[in-house]
Amino acid sequence: MRILITNDDGIRAAGLAVLARAAQHLGTVKIVAPDRERSACSHGMTLRDPLRVKPIDWDAITQAAPEAYGMETPSGSIEAYEVNGLPVDCVNVGLTVAWPDGCDLVLSGINHGPNLGFDVTYSGTVGGAMEGAINGVRSIAVSMAVFVDGAPLHFRTAARWLEERLETIATAPWEPLTFLNVNIPAIAYEELRGERVAVMGRRVYEDRLEERSDPWGRPYFWQGGVVAMSAADQPGTDVHAVSEGFVSLTPISLDWTAYALSDALERSMAAAPRHPTPNG
């Protein structure tokens, strides 16, 4: 299997190395990732600046501190490139430079935080998987669901779960223009309760924008906010599954058409009075 891996936390992020190591059990891995963190870039693409692509010594990255990457020993030699762009750019560079004849699987992650519910619309990790799907490649986004700043990410849990399940989800039934969004709870592996196929939940934030003043008294705004929705109110969703200690698996379609509204909209348009044009 030919595998392309990207992320939005940058090519030196620990989660990327854990995912690469797990994917090596399935085939040949090549990495094309941003040269720095690009979180919350969504499905953004670089159009008005040149993309610079630089080969990277992957062994040097993982051998520097293998335990920091969730493994006792390095993952071995992997062809890797860093790009001064976004995850979407990296996928397109990867399909041009690393896998010019195409690949079988695009993996994006492991993100250093959750991508649940509406957060998928902001996520660069999800954007990478989305671009893979647009290019007709089976794609999977993987994230660690940690909710407290500074809490351990438990990449060893992710490594073990992926070792057991990655082949299954990478070969499960799939349809074009879809991708899989996976969130692994950041808990000890022994505490995992299994997996749940879940629908997309809701992650709504309050106090999104905070006004502050710089040293000269000029106002500026800092964007963030606190999640205002409770997981308990969302049974069957990815948010609820992860809160209960399950890995959530959410198939996502790139067709965002609200089909349930199409007929009603057509009827409304047909029934609306038509005003004569100036020449009619």
Query: Into how many domains does the chain fold?
Result: 1
Can you give the pLDDT at residue 206?
Answer: 58
Can you give the pLDDT at residue 61?
Answer: 83
Residue 280 lies in a domain: no
Q: Are 201 and 239 in contact (CB under 8 A)?
A: yes
CA dist 214 to 88, 218, 220, Å? 34, 5, 7
Can you give the pLDDT at residue 65?
Answer: 54
Can you give the pLDDT at residue 59?
Answer: 87
CA neighbor of 131 nearest in space, from 38, 44, 257, 31:
44
Confidence of residue 63 (pLDDT cuts 50, 70, 90): confident
Residue 217 lies in a domain: no
Check whether 4 has a pLDDT greater than 70.
yes
Can you give the pLDDT at residue 68?
Answer: 58
Check whether 205 has a pLDDT greater than 90.
no
Q: How far apart are CA 23 and CA 159, in angstroms?
A: 10
Residue 25 lies in a domain: yes
pLDDT tens sequence across 81-127: 999 999 999 999 999 999 999 999 999 999 999 999 989 999 999 99
Residue 154 lies in a domain: yes
CATH (domain of 183): 3.40.1210.10
Can you give the pLDDT at residue 173?
Answer: 94
Structure tokens at 183: 């969130």
φ, ψ of residue 71 to 5 degrees: the values are -150, 150
Question: Which structural domain range is residue 33 located in?
Answer: 2-203+229-271
Quickly count: other Cβ atoms within 10 Å of residue 46's Cβ. 15
Structure tokens at 271: 């029934």
Query: Would the CA dihedral through 3, 8, 13, 19 be positive or negative?
Result: negative
Strand 195-197 and strand 79-83: pairing?
Answer: unpaired
Confidence of residue 70 (pLDDT cuts 50, 70, 90): low
Confidence of residue 49 (pLDDT cuts 50, 70, 90): very high
**Segments in the chain forming alpha helices (H):** 14-23, 58-64, 87-93, 124-134, 155-171, 238-243, 259-271
Residue 91 lies in a domain: yes
Residue 113 lies in a domain: yes
Check whether 232 has a pLDDT greater than 80.
no
Residue 257 lies in a domain: yes
Confidence of residue 198 (pLDDT cuts 50, 70, 90): very high
φ, ψ of residue 248 to 5 degrees: the values are -95, 135
Check whether 189 has a pLDDT greater than 60.
yes
Residue 221 lies in a domain: no
* DSSP string of 66-80, one letter each residue: GGGGT-SS-----EE
